Structure 1
């Protein structure tokens, strides 16, 4: 009984590893992610764009 549970655990670990590799896209041939030069300004800009789009979508435009 104990050998069966070890085999199941080993299969789950291997399956988890394979799924992790698939989910991350194998990492080959892709351009590495580059952080912006000014992360604070980029974050503020992204948030502002999101909020503006959200307000426009809801029809609550205050200009």
Structure 2
């Protein structure tokens, strides 16, 4: 039973984007690992930007 955990910063990820991530990650383990999609679990954690760091510094994100 595959368990996939996707962590992203909480920067307005839409419901549709989350659906696509879940669908795509599931298909990836089906295609590469020959796993059953019915037993593949995907969890998306949205992490507040202030709780994320990169290169030894607190991540502040980039503005589009």
- Fold shared, TM-score > 0.5 on shorter chain: no
TM-score (norm 2): 0.33
TM-score (norm 1): 0.34
User: Which of the two has greater helix per residue?
Assistant: 1
Work out which structure has the larger RCO, using CA pairs closer than 8 Å and 6 or more positions apart in sequence. 2
User: Which of the two has greater strand per residue?
Assistant: 2
